[in-house]
Structure 1
Amino acid sequence: MEGRQYVFRRRARPAPDEVVAVIDHLRGRFGVEPVCRVLNLCPGTYYGRKRRPPSARAQRDAVLIEQIKEVHQANYGVYGSRRVHRQLRRQGVPVARCTVERLMREHGLEGVRRGSHRRTTTPDETAPRPPDLVNRRFVADRPDRLWLADITYVRTWEGWVYVAFVLDAFSRRIVGWQLADHLRTDLPLDAWRWRCGNAAETDGRRPAA
């Protein structure tokens, strides 16, 4: 805890409830008075705020956030503030869209964004590159002569999932694949090993590495 400017956004005047929440979070480690000193706040103001009953806005927010969570969960977490607001209005809940946006942001609720892009490759221009053994000719005259590999990604309700797969150049069939929540080297290697194991069990053939 080095200073007030590192606790709240610069040039932003925090709401009283936000200040109280920060002090509540830090008081067990630093004590109330030292935290108030850093925040340039009188400890009496903090204690007075704690004794004060919740404001009408706080009580209203407590009711609204439960309604927002209910709509958000009922729609599998894909609704953003615009759709949540629209659904609440359909249910007869009088609430402004900016209020829905604020409460969803404060409670970490967000919807699925269309067209979002996930970068999977960051090339290193200085790293050595393996030779092109097929001269960019991705064709084969029979199965298991040439395998191709690639990685793609899928957004699910639980987050991003990465898929590595091995494609047979002759049949154009996916002959090996693996799922993971990371992009480490183990992912494509596991897909490769999966196919090698299946090929060895069937007819003992596999392309030379």
Structure 2
Amino acid sequence: AEKSNFTITRMVRLLEVSRSGYYVWLDRKPSDRMIRREGIDQKVAWFHGDSDEVYGSPRILADLRADGETISRKTVAKTMQRLGLVGICPKKWRTTTIIDHADAYPVDAVKRQWDTGALNQVWIGDITYLRTWEGWVYLATVTDPHSRRVIGWAIAAHMRTDLIEDALVMAMTLRGDRPAQVIFHSDYAEDDVKPRNRVDAGCLQ
């Protein structure tokens, strides 16, 4: 009891309040504003962590509003600053895509009508770049537009043809019950990456 009294006395001195005022503060219930602030703090921290600590205030703001919160970007930014959370801002990226319009590209066999009404009829290929702690990497994905799911992916520090082929191998392994031929469509055109009419002949066209 004496030790507890010493602690309270010290707290009162440090806070520069009276003993009675300290007990009033101790028994006071948190205000609605405090409860909301704690709730926002938890959500901001969760959305930031769920994005692998990539999202900044604009994307977290979008997630909060989608979750039903009425909040401003300024409040989100201040909350992140107070919690010590920092998003990863993309740096200016040099142009790597050089399109030769005189070059011959495969004909668009589906005329941009991706979903034909069934699985494994058309697969869509895409490449994007991601910033990591170790530098920029390329992510190649293969998506089935009917299910809107990524069925194959690969990551590498380069953007050569085998990056796409690795993603296709994963897709073909996952979709083992695919038809003999599947249309593979992509819009990218790189010096080292060219869309192909066929990859692993007899599987994709």
Shorter-chain TM-score category? 0.3 to 0.5
More helix as a share of residues: 1
Higher relative contact order (CA 8 A, sep 6+): 2
